[in-house]
Amino acid sequence: MQPPHRRGANRRRYRTAVLGASAGGGIPDGAGRPLRVVTGIVLDASPHLLVLGAPGGGETRVAMSDATAVWHGGRTGLAALRPGRPAIVRLKATGDAGGGGYGADRVWLGISRVTGTILACGRDSVDVDMGPHRGRTRVAIPPNALERVLVRHPRLEPGYLIDVICVGSPDGPRAVRPGTSQPGYRADDLAAPEVTAPVPEVLRGTATWFGGADERGTDVPDPADGAAYPAVDPEGDAGGCADAPSGCVAFPYLSIGSEIVVHNECGGRAAAVPVVECGCAAARFCDRCADCDATPRGRIVELTPAAFAGLGGDLESGCFNAAVRPVGTAGRAVSW
Amino acid sequence: MVTVFQNTQVLLLAAVLLIACLAKLTVREEVPGAPDHVHGVPVPAGLARLTTAHGGRRMTVGVGVGEGMLGLALLLTSHLSVRLATTVVFAAATWVVSELRVRRPDAGCGCFGGLSGKKVGRRSVLRALLFTAAAVGSLGAPLAGFDVLLDVQAQVGLVLVVELGLFAALSPELSTLLRRRGLLGGGGLPHGPGRPATPCERRRSPIQETYATLYDSQAWTEHENLIASAVPLDVWREGCWRFVVFPARLDERDVEIVFAVSTADRDRTVRSSVLTAETALSSTS
């Protein structure tokens, strides 16, 4: 099977051939470009240089500074940059070296996210079904994080949804803080929009991220930009789940490889990202993000950590207010 | 005069019950069980199931049949038990409608089947209250409905017309019915009576439907002989279109034929294009 990016390019070629070229790219006027993000395993670190092992082999060297913020279960210092830890690094232009240099702005170490339906609750752990594509996992919730999680997840019981930011540990993901507030309904009790509800030209709601470091916190996070979209068609080779809920937003059906423009309405950055996964888990969340302003309800897209950070999102805060547009279906440049 | 008024109530209530029965049996809800938003907050589907009186089709049919039997009984007999049952039914309906108005501002009462899909308003409550009053008034009516019809007096006809006019004025279902029949603008259904149009972007379109539409199309007839394999190379969907790509041979060259099949409810169109490895050769629709 072709990778989503390659498949998406082929499908765009086919679509353009049969429907014609689109007039617009879908990036809103005035939107900023995404920031550069690199991922890798920490090989070496010093106060001035971070060396990452790239996913495909080779090394990536990133300049560090006093202003570089490091996260490993919370704000921490450079001492956390131990070899072997997976890192996501957001870069910013440093302005030195002739104005063309980049340095590390934010470094997230071993960060991951567990989002899904609670299957069982133990004394200090929760079993979570993350959807058919992501499987199940057990997330540990240590006492120091439990209070914070409970504040925004008051129904920590089977059948309800959970969304927590975690840090990798040898025993699996360890929750450090809630990702978003828990919806008040049971996971299978989602209110769908009316079947006749029209599809808005621009979907507005919450953008979150998915994945990150693996369960043990040893693998490299996905370096590519991509999105898990809640309404991937289940027929043919589109890649959707047959039993995915319809979500609480009037989503148009898309497929793996389709491109969407995600606009961070808080930070002002926008980028076209391919759909790389069915966002069955996101479809169950009819929640809001209050990053800069209250969004309409509905989790409209989940991004890979690289795409989320590149659009200006802070991985530990979990969401930003987003607008999602189509990337010009031919003949209908700004509609689905 | 009082007797005439009482007899008229029997006719009115029988007519209302028979109309309600007919509506419940013939007009389905437009969106079965579809919950809605209340003040921007979605109603959980479970809550909707719990608090909506017209939750299931079987229940709707059962209530409708009961109303029909009661309406017929009012026409056939003047027995007090029938009148009492009618009074109890309308009193209960008044309570239910009042509760729905307060507790489910997103849901209709289902009083007249799928026609009562709009949220319950004061008019519906007032209507139920007046019917209850009419039922109380009918308790002492000496004649059964058919007996009143056999010897219609002018006064009975006049009172009945006035009451039916009031009934129509208090019924939001009337505008829904006219809209469904295409007699009212704004919200008319171009896709046929009783069937709401699902936007093609979000309409679930089975793959079998796509193939059936494709095989019946002019585009398929034009390219059918070029297709090298019945197994498509790729099938995917974007919004209103499902794309199907087949390998083909044209002028001794390997090409690919892309079909775009509409996912609309009706009047589905099919477009096609022939591609070499990298270039589109032609496009038809």
Per-residue pLDDT for A330 more than 60?
Answer: no
For A191, the closest of B35, B243, B245 (CB atoms) is: B35
Distance CA B32, CA B205 (A): 19
Chain B residues closer than 8 Å to A7 by CB: 234
Distance CA A240, CA A233 (A): 5
Among A136-150, A205-219, A234-248, B55-69, the least confident range: A205-219
- Kind plus residue range of the DSSP H or E element containing B37: strand B37-38
The more confidently predicted of residues B281 and B160 is B160
CB contact under 8 Å between A19 and B241, yes or no, is: yes
CB contact under 8 Å between B202 and A196, yes or no, is: no
Sorted by sequence, the CB contacts under 8 Å of residue A66 that are 6+ apart come out as A47
Chain B residues closer than 8 Å to A330 by CB: none
The more confidently predicted of residues A299 and A224 is A299
Q: To the nearest whole number, what is the mean pLDDT of chain B?
A: 80
pLDDT of B85? 92
Give the mean model confidence (pLDDT) for residues B51-56.
52
The ipTM, to two decimals, is: 0.86
Chain A residues closer than 8 Å to B258 by CB: 14-15, 17-18
For B245, the closest of A14, A255, A257 (CB atoms) is: A14
Sorted by sequence, the CB contacts under 8 Å of residue A217 that are 6+ apart come out as A85, A86, A110, A112, A167, A168, A169, A170, A173
Centroid of chain to Cα B242: 29
Per-domain residue ranges for chain A?
Answer: 37-109, 111-178, 191-326
Chain B residues closer than 8 Å to A4 by CB: none
Same fold across A111-178 and A191-326: no
Burial category of B164 from C-beta neighbours within 10 Å (exposed 0-12, middle 13-18, buried 19 and up): middle
Give the mean model confidence (pLDDT) for residues B208-236.
93
Closest CA to A182 of A230, A208, A150: A150
Q: If pLDDT is split at 50, 70 and 90, which confidence band does B39 have?
A: very low
Distance CA A312, CA A11 (A): 29
Distance CA B8, CA A175 (A): 72
CA of B231: which chain A residue's CA is closest? A236
The more confidently predicted of residues B65 and A332 is B65
Burial category of A156 from C-beta neighbours within 10 Å (exposed 0-12, middle 13-18, buried 19 and up): middle
- Kind plus residue range of the DSSP H or E element containing A306: helix A305-310
DSSP letter assigned to residue A165: E
Distance CA A81, CA A302 (A): 27
Distance CA A329, CA A22 (A): 6
Give the mean model confidence (pLDDT) for residues A230-253.
88
The percent of residues in chain A predicted with pLDDT above 70, rounded, is 89
Chain A nearest CA to B236, separation (Å) = 4
Its pTM stands at 0.69
Chain B nearest CA to A167, separation (Å) = 33
Per-residue pLDDT for A329 more than 50?
Answer: no
Q: If pLDDT is split at 50, 70 and 90, which confidence band does B33 have?
A: very low
Among A67-81, A201-215, B65-79, B209-223, the least confident range: A201-215
CB contact under 8 Å between A194 and B46, yes or no, is: no
CA-based torsion, A267, A270, B204, A236: positive or negative? negative
> Rounded to 5 degrees, what are φ and ψ at B241?
-125, 135
Burial category of B149 from C-beta neighbours within 10 Å (exposed 0-12, middle 13-18, buried 19 and up): middle
Per-residue pLDDT for A177 more than 90?
Answer: yes
Chain B nearest CA to A97, separation (Å) = 42
CB contact under 8 Å between A199 and B237, yes or no, is: no
In Å, how far are A16, A330, B251 from B281, measured between CA atoms? 12, 17, 12
Topology (CATH) of A37-109: OB fold (Dihydrolipoamide Acetyltransferase, E2P) (2.40.50)
Q: If pLDDT is split at 50, 70 and 90, which confidence band does B191 have?
A: very low
The more confidently predicted of residues A236 and B35 is A236
Chain A nearest CA to B61, separation (Å) = 23
Topology (CATH) of A191-326: Barwin-like endoglucanases (2.40.40)
* Assigned CATH class of A111-178: mainly beta
Closest CA to A284 of A163, A112, A200: A163
CA of B47: which chain A residue's CA is closest? A189
